[in-house]
Amino acid sequence: MDAKDGDGSNALVQLLSELGRVETGSSEYLRLREKLRIHLEGTSSIDLDLGRAGSRGGYPVIPNSALLALLEEVKEAEESRIQKLYFDLSGNAVRTGRVSKLQHLDVMGFFPEQEDAKDSEGRRSFFGSGMLSQVVHLSISRLYVNGGDIKALVEAIESNGACKLKHLALPGKWWGYESDGIARLFKLGYLSCLEHLDLSYCDISQQGMVAITEAIMEGPTTGLRLEHLDLSGNDLGDCRGLATLFRAGYLSNLKYFSISRCAIRNQGAKAIFKAIMEGSACPIQYMDISTNGIDSERLLEFLGVLKSGHLPELQHLVCEWDWEARAVHAALSGAKYTHEERLLALLAFAKFLEDGLDVGGLKSVGLYDVEAVSFEVAGAFVSAYANNEALTLQLGLHWPYYDRSYKDNVEKYRKRNIALTSARSNLRDEEQIPATTGKVFLCGFPMVGKTTLRRSLQKTGISRWFFRSTKTEPRTRGIEVSKIVQKGRGEQAQIVLSVWDLAGQQEYRVLQSAFCLAESKATMFVIVCNAVYSEPQSRKELLFWFKFIACSCERGVQRHVVVTLNCFKKGDSSMKPSWSTVIEEERNRFADLLNIHPEPFVLNARNPSSTIELKHHLLNLSDTLLQGQTIPRICKLIPNYFSWMRGNLDCPVLPLEDCLVQIHKMQRGKDRKSIMAALSFLHERGDIVFFREDLLRRVASESESDASISGLVVVDPNWFCRRVIGDLLLPASVLQPGQSSVQTLAAADGSFSLTTLHQYFKVLLRNHPQQLAGIITMLMSLGLCYQSGHDKVFIPALIPKEDMRMWEHYGVKDGSAGYWVMGRSTSLLEKETMVMPAALFHRLQVNLAHDPEFGVVSSSGMNASSYTVSKSSSSFKFRGMVVLIQYDVNEDDPEDDRIDILVKSLGQINEDPTNIRKQQLDLVEDIMSRVEPISAYCCPGVQFQRNVIIPWNACEPTLSMRQRVLIPVEVVKDQVQKSGLRQRSNWTIDDRVVAFDDLLSGADLEGVERIVRERYSRIEDGARFMEIELDDMDTQVQTEDPPPGLLDAQNSYMLCAVRSEGQMTRQEVRSLRNHMDKRFAELQHNINYIFDKQQQI
């Protein structure tokens, strides 16, 4: 209904309300009747859905006399224009009559299950009134009916002869009373035109469905035109009827199909899947088979249906598996059930998504479960999205509660796949050729020979036998890129390895993470080490780089890692056995994360001939990983053209429009859309760096010209990494003769003048003003810096000093005020296999600086002077509070890496300190929620653990990060969940005992409330399932504790346990329920109080 119709409906409801309040026959009554008649003459649709009307403000009350008057006016009009009638059937208001043009009828009501005979009589009179003669759309919902009502409806449809019904929706408890009624309608052909049938939750039994099926098959031979069939919530059992309809082709037009919650077991599922396979291709677009007792074997059969192509138009699939219900069924039937069955089913689905080059038109799959999936299952789905570039569907899954990295990585890969799929779609007319380019990243600490090894790998043919380098190569600045080319023989394709040499200095880790290293499928890592290191030193070095690579790679994608020992002398391999032992031990530790080659390669990086074995290994491995991968031909030709351009450009950064013109000259006949698609494709592969206009505009200052932010293309990533970012981040402490560092230009506060930076890059880029304007904006879009004011730029990675003066200066000084320092800490969940890169913290600093609420670009301007950054901290003021964000990183002890977020009150709000503490924690949670999305791009493999920082009095000195006491948030939530609110902890602040719920935010308490409510509901459902009476009217307060074990957190299948033990007494149920009720009320009261105060503030 459009807005105009909605206004008319409101006016009609108001008019009928007034009509019902005046005396029948009075002058006012006659005046309103005349007004009603005029209103009806100008409309073809009447909407009296009181539920919708009530939602627009107040529940309207329309007396029966007014409804009778309305229908009388409709019936008495000789040329009624009413074609649509949305009617809230109430009492005996509707009797008899006919509306000749009525085509759309929605009847609904809100009746109790006990009603008087007049109500039922009125409805039967309405069904038999002849109003259905021209009806095409009939929907009856929210209405309690009985067998007599059903008979009246069936007779009304039969009395019309050739029925014109196309849409019949009768959800609710209708046909369980008399299934033969609708069966007779099908058999006599009265529903032969039906396209939409909704019989959800109608208590139709297996026998009733069989009867309906037989009636359909015995009816007219024209067959069904059904496009929408919803049978949810009925007991379909073995599904014989449905299977017969599919097999016979009666559902060949079906587009929407739902059989959720139909108590379908293995036999029924097998029958349906087999029938779909045996019939012709079915055009179903939406399919819901969720919450049935189907095991993993049947799920595999369903995957076979998808693979067979019998559902070619399927777009939305919902197959939520109620594994707890499955466990209950197994327990009651004596069958065996294990969690391995659930695991195998989900792994099989992930494998199906990964293996399929194309999953058809699927846009969404819902695999929601009653429990979060395991890390193994989550990793399998990440791998599926990473390895299948055609996989773009939206995945609904209960991801691991304590780790969002899996969900974030799936979403990141999904967006990448959407970009690649869109590019491929725009390039679908292009010839597809084999992909031939792999990536190799050289990692290692400074001065181990990475650059020398890269140049030796480049040497080809006879030159490598005569080339002997005796000098030390210049130190790498940032990232340097070169290529190894192996020409193909015969029909073999040429293999190209893009070798990325990563600088070893810690400052460059920000750059390396910014480029999201492990994007390509054929991505390999080579760790270069000094062969003469001792066993403890070699273990420490290897462990760090294994962790760094693991955190840089997405969960579920095992990257190949090779260890290279640079012995600096020919044939010196005496240390190889000890290194091999270390590598083998670390392989076991990282078995689920990395594919580590078991033996190290011993070589002399200065001698190209000693690198042959390593080079062949990398080329062969890349060839294997690229099998079956294809790219459009234009995406190979454009990089070749860019290679030519690099030799003719001092600054290979082109404005997007210039780049498009250049490519169009080279590739005549290609339109702009195809070229843009090719650029996007090459960007995803890492061949170019494409800065889109929307990304640049998001961070650009007002002083930037439109030309500099309309889109930029870096045609030479090597040049950009080395000459721009490498020079920008090069520390002054490692300068060599003839080199310069921007760090020497920093002001006392660590900032850089924008004018000074422009002058620096002007010299660096040899006076190329057209590229100069966008350089700073590009660096901002990479998260490397931010602008404050008109002439200040901060580069967090280059700030050398700590500065916590603002945090120490502001805040409450009165110790008796009761204000606390509240906080959270984000640490590594898997400390043995991960590190927390500095890039994560520095990008968080930049992200907050750009935030419109917290940062220097705040729309209100309030934070412009308060936001400060230093080497490992940031602080700012926000709504009467001051925030401190600290980073602790030590490469010698990476297991302690973490980010702490602290908040204290400024004392400006006259409010209860307890209430303010919740506001502090809510602010902390808001800031912490920004960490994981950033990690998806700079350290996607990291899993985080949220920890509570035990508070202290705000007037006391700030505790160092080593002094702070940390407790996992989930441990605190479990304490509140088990023991209720105000449970005392072991900590005190100024003689006040800290309660566990003092340490939780409003969102945390909301989560606890949800868990308690779900557990309570599950216990109640279980008791009813076992036919244990629950007395809702029993208000007796039970003070004793519930029976031992009933609230055990690990007893997730309580129903099965109780069933196997025999029974649950009524006293136990009552005690348990009252206990849960009391806890739920406490939580609800606390949460409501918090939210009310927040709204007041």
With a cut of 50, say whether residue 358 has pLDDT above it.
yes
Q: Is residue 570 scored above 70 in pLDDT?
A: no
Predicted local confidence at residue 614, as pLDDT: 92
pLDDT at residue 1039 in the model? 43
DSSP string, 799-854: --S---HHHHHSS---GGG--EEEEEEEEES-TTT----HHHHHHHHHHHHH-TTT
E strand or H helix that includes residue 273: helix 266-278
Domains (ranges, CATH) in the chain? Answer: 436-627 (3.40.50.300), 647-794 (no CATH), 805-966 (3.30.310.50), 1004-1096 (no CATH)
Stretch 1064-1071: mean pLDDT: 54
> How high is the mean pLDDT of the chain?
73
Please state, for a pLDDT cut of 70, what percent of the chain lies above it: 65
CA distance 741 to 747: 14
Over range 1008-1017, report the average pLDDT: 69
Q: Residue 481 forms beta bridges with which residues?
A: 500
pLDDT for position 767: 52
Name 492's Cβ contacts closer than 8 Å, sequence gap at least 6: none
pLDDT of 930 above 90 = no
DSSP 211-265: HHHHHHHHS-TT----SEEE-TTS--TT-HHHHHHHHHTTTTT--EEE-TTS---
Average pLDDT of the residues in 1078-1094: 60
Most confident of 286-295, 500-509, 586-595: 586-595
Average pLDDT over residues 953-981: 87
pLDDT of residue 72: 67
Greater model confidence, 1030 or 498: 498
Which pLDDT tens digit goes with each residue over 995-1004? Answer: 988 999 888 8
pLDDT at residue 116 is higher than 50: no
User: What pLDDT, on a 0 to 100 scale, did the predictor assign at position 573?
Assistant: 63
Mean pLDDT along residues 491-495: 69
Is the pTM value of this prediction over 0.85? no
> Is residue 314 predicted with pLDDT exceeding 90?
no
Q: What is the predicted pLDDT for the residue at 53?
A: 39
* pLDDT at res. 477: 55
For residue 517, what pLDDT band results from cuts at 50, 70 and 90? very low
Which of these ranges, 366-370, 438-442, 661-665, 698-702, has the smallest mean pLDDT? 698-702
Judge whether residue 1059 has pLDDT over 80. no
Query: Tokens standing for 333?
Result: 């039937």
pLDDT at residue 965, as a whole number: 93
Highest mean pLDDT, choosing among 269-278, 348-357, 964-973, 1005-1014: 964-973
- For residue 1074, give both structure tokens: 């009252």
Among 290-299, 580-589, 695-704, 794-803, the minimum mean pLDDT is found in 695-704
What whole-number distance in Å separates Cα of residue 448 and Cα of residue 476? 12
In this prediction, residue 13 has a pLDDT band, given cuts at 50, 70 and 90, of confident
Answer yes or no: are the C-beta atoms of 193 and 165 closer than 8 Å: yes
227 has pLDDT over 80:
yes
Rounded Cα gap, residues 331 and 645, in angstroms: 71
pLDDT at residue 111 in the model: 40
**pLDDT at res. 514:** 46
Cβ neighbors of 696 (< 8 A, separation 6 or more) are: 708, 709, 710, 711, 712, 774, 777, 778, 781
**Predicted local confidence at residue 567, as pLDDT:** 84
How confident is the model at residue 1079, as a pLDDT? 59
- pLDDT grade, residue 504 (50/70/90)? low
Banded pLDDT at 1052 (limits 50, 70, 90): very low
Note the Cα 234 to chain centre separation in Å: 32
More confident residue, 841 or 218: 841
- Would you say residue 245 has pLDDT above 60? yes
* pLDDT one-digit tens code per residue, 872-912: 899 998 888 999 999 986 655 655 789 999 999 887 767 77
Give the range among 177-181, 872-876, 1092-1096 with minimum mean pLDDT.
1092-1096
Q: Output the pLDDT for position 748.
A: 76
CA gap 244, 271 in Å, rounded: 9
